[in-house]
Amino acid sequence: MTTEPTSLPDLASRPHGGTVLAASDEFFADKENLIKAETPVFQPHTFTPKGQQYDGWETRRRFGRAEGHDWVLLRLGAPGTVRAIDVDTAFFLGNYPQRCRIEATGVEGYPGVPELEAADWFELVPESPLAGGTHNVFTVDSDRRVTHVRLHILPDGGVARLRVHGEVVPDPRELAVLPFDLAATLNGGTVLRCSDSFFSPPANMLQPGESRFMADGWETARRRDDGHDWATLGLTCAAVPLLAEVATTHYRGNSPDRIALSGVDGATASPDDEGAWFPLLPETKLQPDTTHRFRLAGDRPVTHVRIDSHPDGGIGRFRLYGRPTPRALHDLTARWLNRLPRPQAVHALNAAGLPGEKLAAELPRADVADLLGPLLGTV
């Protein structure tokens, strides 16, 4: 199934843990508005001492008054490979930037702004024109894993939202020790398809934290036939699932009556083959506005899971905890290491007691078995 880049997760969004670290200026509107999950809104004639309120980030007038241009620096909540960036100038019509440029970097840990200024930045989007009051979408051709993004607006003005769509590339060092959520967006879980998403999309179920309100989960229309609703998920990697968590938070008169889970191992069968699916959890009764936890007794690895919602309704959050197979852990590590920017790869390898400069020069490598123990702390 072909995936549009803008349908990929927003790696920078606040619900995913994104943060706006710094900006050159935010005189008219706060920089934190850039990563709000909500669609921008506008209320005319809502004036503060600084002027009309805007739901976005807006700097003061610089053109013709000062040299340079404005910029904003973001830490991604979910580091990954960027595929598209949407510079949304909704409602900014006479005050949007003329052009923009976007760069990124990948670093270890949680550096501050001074350390980030000295990092090795590379270009994701070259200097490009912007239009006002619209989605300015730029496709990105880079396989490097990034942790931070910097938007330059030339010379000044307002941007409503900055969406950084991409593929999550989790850090295997954070996944190797304990069972983790195989379905979480932050770990690389995705929704591949579903029967219905009339009220809200199934990707909401995979977000971090507790569901905030009814529309923050997956809710289908009321069925008027004998069928049931379903959603198919692609997991972070092949793993043996141990425990499922199904939360119907806020769904009081519209939760599913029952739920069932099934899985398939994409290494041995196609998810498109209905006969390849096997049960993980039989049809089980649910309660409204409740977080349910179900232990799973199987020992077969899966790469995909299907949630069957009987007959319909809303699920706030879905978690699936398990352990990756040894091969999957190897492949996760290879993918992560091969996509690191060179300076970050050197740093990570050195920190593991390995010769960073030498090994980084050999990347990409398909086989990283000799590096697993030191990198993952298992030796």
**Any bridge partners for residue 131, and if so which?**
none
pTM for this predicted structure: 0.86
Second CATH level (architecture) for the domain 5-168: Sandwich (2.60)
Terminus-to-terminus CA distance in the chain, angstroms? Answer: 40
- 290: helix, coil or strand? coil
- Decide whether 5-168 matches 173-324 in CATH topology: yes
pLDDT tens-place string over residues 66-84:
889 999 999 999 999 999 9
Q: What is the CA radius of gyration of the chain?
A: 22
**Nearest-CA neighbor of 187 among 173, 198, 201?**
173
Angle at 16 between CA 11 and CA 17, to 5 degrees: 105
For residue 68, what are the CA distances in angstroms to 24, 62, 65, 113, 152?
Answer: 10, 8, 10, 19, 10
Cα–Cα dist 202/193, whole Å:
9
Q: Residue 379's pLDDT is what?
A: 59
Cα–Cα dist 34/40, whole Å:
9
Q: Residue 45's pLDDT is what?
A: 84
Sign of CA dihedral 205, 206, 212, 216: negative
Q: Where are the domains of the chain?
A: 5-168, 173-324, 326-376
Cα–Cα dist 5/33, whole Å:
22
Tell me the fold of 173-324: Jelly Rolls (2.60.120)
pLDDT tens-place string over residues 90-143:
999 999 999 999 999 999 988 889 999 999 999 999 999 999 999 999 999 999
pLDDT along the chain (379 residues), means of 10: 80 92 94 94 86 90 87 95 98 96 95 93 98 97 96 97 96 85 96 96 95 93 96 97 95 95 94 94 93 91 98 97 94 96 96 96 96 87
Which of 135-163 are b and which e, b meaning 16 or more Cβ less than 10 Å from the residue's Cβ? ebebebebebbbbbbbbbbbbbbbbbbbb
343 preceded by a cis bond (ω within 30 of 0)? no
